[in-house]
Amino acid sequence: MNIEQIDGLRARVAKHAALADPARLRIVDLLTLGDHSPTELQAELGMPSNLLSHHLRTLEEAGLTTRHRSEADRRRSYLRLAPGALDGLTPGGDRGARRILFVCTRNSARSQLAAALWRQSSEIPASSAGTHPADRIAQGALDVARRHGVVLADIAPRQLDEVEQGEDFVVTVCDNAHEELTLAGGIHWSVPDPLRLNTEEAFEATFTDLSHRVGDLAPRLHVA
């Protein structure tokens, strides 16, 4: 870990420490909606002014808030969230990728759905493949995508060796594929196979799981 990474980690730790107090977390909640004067915050929180001052100083020192003088009454100040105050608080950090490759065993449901969801969430290109591809995309995957207005690429399941590129950010969405492969630089999502039950409910559960996971990962990756 280089010096820049260490400094970034320390800054994140300081923010998390500042937010660990319920009162300071409540102040930040309020400031996400708009600017507040210390008097307004004191009335909202019902705490002594000296204790509020301590909390506000802690938030400022952690780089979470800034304050400025009122243009109307120069004796009054307003607090606001600092630009980018909450950036980097989600564990995981930011990474670059040229393309995302979703992999499952048959490339007939989970990896196809994940790639389609990714295209709706990120500018980074996405593709999918299977370690042992099926003949066609599962009907359940086509149905759940249609119900949610998601467009699946008109591409038959494909073999991983034919699709993989050396600089892909690989996401295995199948335990079998993950345990079969040895891929560096990727991650694994343990998503149950909806074809085991092959019901509408199973595909809905898979779609929901993948939607949440894609939504969590997309903001953490940027185009390399």
- 152-186 pLDDT per residue, tens: 988 899 999 999 998 899 999 999 999 898 765 68
Q: What is the pTM of this model?
A: 0.71
Per-residue confidence (pLDDT) for residue 92, from 0 to 100 = 63
Per-residue confidence (pLDDT) for residue 220, from 0 to 100 = 83
Domain count, the chain: 2
User: Rounded to an integer, what distance in angstroms lies between the CA atom of residue 158 and that of residue 155?
Assistant: 8
> Per the domain annotation, does 64 fall within a domain?
yes
> Per the domain annotation, does 109 fall within a domain?
yes
Per-residue confidence (pLDDT) for residue 186, from 0 to 100 = 81
Instruction: Name which of 54, 23, 49 is nearest 38 in CA terms.
Output: 49
Give the whole-number percent of the chain exceeding pLDDT 90: 77
- Kindly indicate the confidence band of residue 8, based on its pLDDT and cuts at 50, 70 and 90: confident
> Per the domain annotation, does 116 fall within a domain?
yes
- The CATH number of residue 7's host domain is 1.10.10.10
- 54-67 pLDDT per residue, tens: 999 999 999 999 99
56 in the same domain as 103: no
**102's tokens:** 């979703």
Helices and strands in the chain, H and E counts: 9, 8
Residue 15: count of CB within 10 angstroms of its CB: 20
Instruction: Name which of 126, 102, 112, 122 is nearest 181 in CA terms.
Output: 102
Residue at a domain's end among 81, 111, 128: 81
133 in the same domain as 76: no
Taking every pair of Cα atoms in the chain, the longest distance, rounded to a whole number of angstroms, is 73
Residue at a domain's end among 81, 109, 139: 81
Among 31-40, 103-112, 115-124, 125-134, the least confident range: 31-40
pLDDT exceeds cutoff 80 at 17:
yes
User: Rounded to an integer, what distance in angstroms lies between the CA atom of residue 197 and that of residue 160?
Assistant: 25
> Per the domain annotation, does 89 fall within a domain?
no
Look-up of token digits 């299977």:
130
Please write down the long-range contacts of 90-96, taking CB distance under 8 Å and 24 or more positions apart.
90/216, 90/219, 90/220, 92/220, 93/220, 94/220, 94/221, 94/222, 95/169, 95/220, 95/221, 95/222, 96/221, 96/222, 96/223, 96/224
216 in the same domain as 138: yes
Per-residue confidence (pLDDT) for residue 33, from 0 to 100 = 86
> Per the domain annotation, does 11 fall within a domain?
yes
User: Which domain, by its residues, includes 11?
Assistant: 3-81
Per-residue confidence (pLDDT) for residue 183, from 0 to 100 = 63
- What residues contact residue 154 under an 8 Å CB cut-off, 6+ apart? none
pLDDT exceeds cutoff 60 at 1:
no
pLDDT exceeds cutoff 90 at 90:
no
User: Rounded to an integer, what distance in angstroms lies between the CA atom of residue 86 and that of residue 82?
Assistant: 9
